């Protein structure tokens, strides 16, 4: 028996095949687009794939980059095909997820800032100076308010115009460095190359690794993330979060010793670890145990209730699931309050072959701080005429460290009576400089 298909039947079958095939391709294409978009979402990165540190999504949610997608920083704003290639090359991360990894996990393969940060932040723009005010509360019975005002020299500018200055000078110049620490807490070797190709190398005189050995290590060009390394999901000092809560009114500063109580609660909660939902009841018990006993007035009870809510939020952003981890396990190198930051290079002991050091000079990045306590100005401004050229001694690499050994009668001409101290009242008794500890540096020790 022989079957034959008519021309109309054949054409109808062909048309059906094309239509169904096109529909299937459209479905596959739509599904592929949805899958691709989902693979670039924060939900995929933090939950389905990279559940490395469950605390990072919480930290990101309260950061200045909360609306920036993970892939925009960790992969960069690149063409789609290039992004696909990069993702395919991340097989080593899949291997780590299968075989395990250590915590804290340090990112060693971040995209260059020129492919990520600079999509929004253009360093060639010359930024004006910015006034920053830091509010701190002392842990005394009155929760004494202390405000520190800084004029920050952000700077920037295009290197070829010879206009670079301030903090952003570092990313506009060709600055390379070597570190033997995966978290970049130390930078023993620095090289600066000018536009003519002339290089100057600075080496940490106190380094335990020899200069020749250090020069053989991989070199990295300095960019935004070498200082702003935790801007996407910062693990802030919880004491700073307490200050922020008091300043915002979420914690009532009229409660006696409330700052000291908050710090004691933080210390007691520090050893805790495990899933956050399991830690919260313990947080509340620690807070309740520290609360005042006895009958409280309605307004006092309301303040205590708000204090509990704020402290649970602060502890939820400060505690970790893995044992042994704290906010100190994730250093942020912007500034130099809790971690070395600027002092990794600007410590006065990185010397070149001529014996010249990278300057330990605070005013390269900001003016001398002004401090007020409970609204009363404690610092005394210099009487220097704007634009006056400072003495050569002020440009010495270690001037901020050993200026006390160089004091003579001429200093009073610009700075007023020379009176040492830590509580203000004279130019040389600035409480923002003296009477406190800096990471890897002491401005109060005897100059060497």
pLDDT tens column, 108-156: 777 788 888 888 887 677 778 889 999 999 999 999 999 999 899 887 6
Mean pLDDT value of segment 387-399? 78
Mean pLDDT value of segment 279-292? 94
Mean pLDDT value of segment 212-229? 89
**Residue 248 above 90 pLDDT?**
yes
Phi-psi region of 210 (alpha: psi -120 to 50; beta: other; left: phi over 0): beta
Distance CA 238, CA 320 (A): 13
| Burial readout 227-265 (b: 16 or more C-beta within 10 A, e: otherwise) | bbbbbbbbbbbbbbbbbebbbeebbbbebeebbebbeeb
Lowest mean pLDDT among 79-93, 126-140, 256-270, 356-370: 79-93
Distance CA 333, CA 184 (A): 9
Identify the residue whose tokens are 């807070």. 287
**Residue 4 above 50 pLDDT?**
yes
Contact 292, 261 (CB under 8 A): no
**Residue 448 above 50 pLDDT?**
no
- Looking at residue 5, what is its pLDDT? 55
Neighbours of 280 (CB within 10 A): 14
Neighbours of 118 (CB within 10 A): 17
Distance CA 206, CA 351 (A): 10
Distance CA 272, CA 206 (A): 37
Distance CA 409, CA 407 (A): 7
pLDDT bucket at 173, cuts 50 / 70 / 90: confident
Calculate the CA 235 to chain-centre distance. 8
Mean pLDDT value of segment 73-78? 82
**Residue 447 above 90 pLDDT?**
no
Distance CA 213, CA 292 (A): 59
| Highest mean pLDDT out of 186-190, 295-299, 368-372 | 186-190
pLDDT tens column, 321-340: 888 889 999 899 998 999 99
pLDDT bucket at 50, cuts 50 / 70 / 90: low
Distance CA 78, CA 42 (A): 17
DSSP-derived secondary structure for 350-401: EE-TTS-B----GGGTBPPPEEEETTEE------PPTTPPPPGGGGSTTHHH
Q: Which two tokens stand for residue 155?
A: 């700077």
**Residue 162 above 80 pLDDT?**
no
pLDDT tens column, 417-438: 888 777 778 888 888 887 778 8
Share of the chain above pLDDT 90, in %: 29
- Looking at residue 191, what is its pLDDT? 95
pLDDT bucket at 51, cuts 50 / 70 / 90: low
Mean pLDDT value of segment 55-78? 86
Instruction: Measure the CA dihedral 253/257/258/264, to 10°.
Output: 150
Half-sphere exposure of 444 (CA within 13 A, CB side): 14
Global confidence as pTM = 0.83
Distance CA 371, CA 429 (A): 11
Lowest mean pLDDT among 10-19, 171-180, 237-246, 333-342: 10-19
- Looking at residue 446, what is its pLDDT? 35
| Domain residue ranges of the chain, discontinuous segments joined by + | 42-110, 134-230+332-429, 238-329
Contact 383, 415 (CB under 8 A): yes
Distance CA 346, CA 102 (A): 31
pLDDT tens column, 10-49: 677 777 888 888 888 888 888 888 888 888 888 888 776 6
Phi-psi region of 286 (alpha: psi -120 to 50; beta: other; left: phi over 0): alpha
| Furthest-apart CA atoms within the chain: distance in Å | 122
> What is the C-alpha R_g of the chain?
29
Neighbours of 268 (CB within 10 A): 15
């Amino acid at each position: 028996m022989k079957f034959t298909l008519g021309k109309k039947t054949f054409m109808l079958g062909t048309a059906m095949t094309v239509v169904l095939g096109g529909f299937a391709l459209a479905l596959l294409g739509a599904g592929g687009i949805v899958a691709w978009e989902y693979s670039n979402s924060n939900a995929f990165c933090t939950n389905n794939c990279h559940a490395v540190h469950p605390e990072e999504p919480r930290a990101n949610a309260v950061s200045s980059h909360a609306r920036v997608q993970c892939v925009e920083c960790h992969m960069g704003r690149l063409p789609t095909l290039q992004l696909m290639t990069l993702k395919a090359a991340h097989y080593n991360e899949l291997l780590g997820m299968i075989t395990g990894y250590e915590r804290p996990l340090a990112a060693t393969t971040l995209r260059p800032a020129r492919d990520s940060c600079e999509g929004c932040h253009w360093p060639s723009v010359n930024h004006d100076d910015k006034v920053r005010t830091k509010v701190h509360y002392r842990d005394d019975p009155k929760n004494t308010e202390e405000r520190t005002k800084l004029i920050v020299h952000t700077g920037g500018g295009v290197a070829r115009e010879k206009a670079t200055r301030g903090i952003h000078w570092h990313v506009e110049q060709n600055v390379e460095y070597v570190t033997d620490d995966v978290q970049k807490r130390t930078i023993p070797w620095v090289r600066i190359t000018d536009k003519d190709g002339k290089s100057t190398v600075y080496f940490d005189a106190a380094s335990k690794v020899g200069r020749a050995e250090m020069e053989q290590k991989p070199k990295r060009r300095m960019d935004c993330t070498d200082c702003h390394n935790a801007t996407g999901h910062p693990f802030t000092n919880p004491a700073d979060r307490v200050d922020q809560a008091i300043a915002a009114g979420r914690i009532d500063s009229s409660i006696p010793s409330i700052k000291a109580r908050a710090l004691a609660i933080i210390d007691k909660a520090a050893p805790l670890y495990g899933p956050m939902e399991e830690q919260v009841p313990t947080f509340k018990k620690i807070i309740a145990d520290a609360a005042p006993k006895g009958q409280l007035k309605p307004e006092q009870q309301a303040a205590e209730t708000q204090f509990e809510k704020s402290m649970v939020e602060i502890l939820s952003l400060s505690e970790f699931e893995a044992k042994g981890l704290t906010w100190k396990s994730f250093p942020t190198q912007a500034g130099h309050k809790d971690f070395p930051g600027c002092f990794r290079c600007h410590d006065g002991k990185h010397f070149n072959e001529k014996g010249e050091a990278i300057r330990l000079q605070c005013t390269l990045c900001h003016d001398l701080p002004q401090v007020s306590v409970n609204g009363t100005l404690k610092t005394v401004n210099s009487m220097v005429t704007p634009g006056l050229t400072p003495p050569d001694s002020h440009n010495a690499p270690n001037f901020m460290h050993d200026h006390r050994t160089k004091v003579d009668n001429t200093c009073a001409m610009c700075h007023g009576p020379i009176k040492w101290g830590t509580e203000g009242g004279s130019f040389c008794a600035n409480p923002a400089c003296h009477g406190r500890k800096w990471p890897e540096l002491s401005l109060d020790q005897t100059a060497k």
